[in-house]
Amino acid sequence: EDQVTQSPEALRLQEGESSSLNCSYTVSGLRGLFWYRQDPGKGPEFLFTLYSAGEEKEKERLKATLTKKESFLHITAPKPEDSATYLCAVQAPGTYKYIFGTGTRLKVLA
Amino acid sequence: NAGVTQTPKFQVLKTGQSMTLQCAQDMNHEYMSWYRQDPGMGLRLIHYSVGAGITDQGEVPNGYNVSRSTTEDFPLRLLSAAPSQTSVYFCASSYIPEVAGRSQYFGPGTRLLVL
C-alpha cells in the first residue's frame, strides 16, 4: 500500500537551532515528492517538488533532499516565523491522486 | 489573480441537511481536487477532476458528490450531512499532472461543523 509517514509529529526549536524533518514513503515509481507549509487556519502553501534520488532544492533557510525511501526538510538557523506545520506528499503512481503525510508541527521559540 | 477561492469560510449544519461548498480558480488549471483535513489524519482526497465533465473518486468519496461543468468551478455537495463530516475542507488546483510534479495551489478552506 502506498504510504507517507512524517516524523516527528511535533518539534520545538530555539531560534537558530538547526534541525531536520523526515518524510518516508512507500510508493513504487515515484513521480514527485512535494513539501508544503501550512499556517494555522490557512491552506497549504507549496514549497518544493523533488523528482529523483539525490535531488536537492533550497529556499531561504529550508533545504529539501530526496533518497529512494525518504525525504528530509533541513531547517538552518530557524526563526520564529518558520513556525508552521510542514506537510509532505507524493503522487500515487499511475494516478492523479496525491497521498499526504500527517505533517510535522514546528514551533520556533525566540 | 485571486487564485483558489472557497465559500463559505465557516458553516454549521444539522444532521441530514444538504449543502454545497463552492470552489473557484482563475488560473485556467485543468486539475481540481477536494480534500478534508482532520486532526491526526492529514489531508485525504475526496474527489478530483482533470477537466470539465470529468471527475473521479479519491480516498474518501462516500457522502460527497461533485460535478465540473466549467474549468473554473468545482463544487462539492453534501447530500445528507453527518457528524462524521465535521472537518476542514480544502480545494486545490494545478495544471494537469501528466508531467510529474505539478504542484497544487490550495484555497483557504471551509470549516464545517455538523451537529
Residue B68 to chain A, least CA–CA distance (Å): 16
Mean pLDDT for B74-98 is 93
Within 15-74 of B, beta carbons closer than 8 Å to A belong to 31, 33, 35, 40-45, 48, 50, 56, 58-59
Query: A66 forms bridges with which residues in the sheet?
Result: A71
* % residues pLDDT > 70 (chain B): 96
DSSP string, B73-102: B--EEESS--GGG-EEEEEEEES-TTSTT-
* Residue to test with chain B: of A97, A99, A104, A105, most B Cβ within 10 A: A97
Count CA within 13 A, CB hemisphere, residue B37: 25
> pLDDT at position A91, please?
86
- Out of A32, A41, A101, closest to residue B100 by CB: A32
Count CA within 13 A, CB hemisphere, residue A42: 12
pLDDT band of residue A37 (cuts 50, 70, 90) is very high
Q: Do B97 and A34 touch (CB under 8 A)?
A: no
A7: pLDDT strictly greater than 60: yes
> pLDDT at position B101, please?
58
Rounded Cα gap, residues B5 and B24, in angstroms: 5
Work out whether strand A3-7 and strand A19-26 pair parallel, antiparallel, or are unpaired: antiparallel
Q: Which residues of chain B make contact with A98, given a CB cutoff of 8 A? A: 33, 45, 104
pLDDT band of residue A96 (cuts 50, 70, 90) is confident
Task: Kindly identify which residue of chain B lies nearest to residue A50, measuring between CA atoms.
Answer: B101
Summarised one tens digit per residue, pLDDT across range B22-69 is: 999 999 999 999 999 998 888 999 999 999 999 999 999 999 999 999
Query: Is the CB of residue A56 less than 8 Å from the CB of residue B65?
Result: no
Which residue would you say has higher pLDDT here, A61 or B98?
Answer: A61
B97: pLDDT strictly greater than 70: no
Local structure of A61: helix, strand or coil: coil
Mean pLDDT for B111-115 is 97
B7: pLDDT strictly greater than 90: yes
Residue B82 to chain A, least CA–CA distance (Å): 23
Q: Which residues of chain A make contact with B109, given a CB cutoff of 8 A? A: 41-43
- Mean pLDDT, chain B, as a whole number? 93
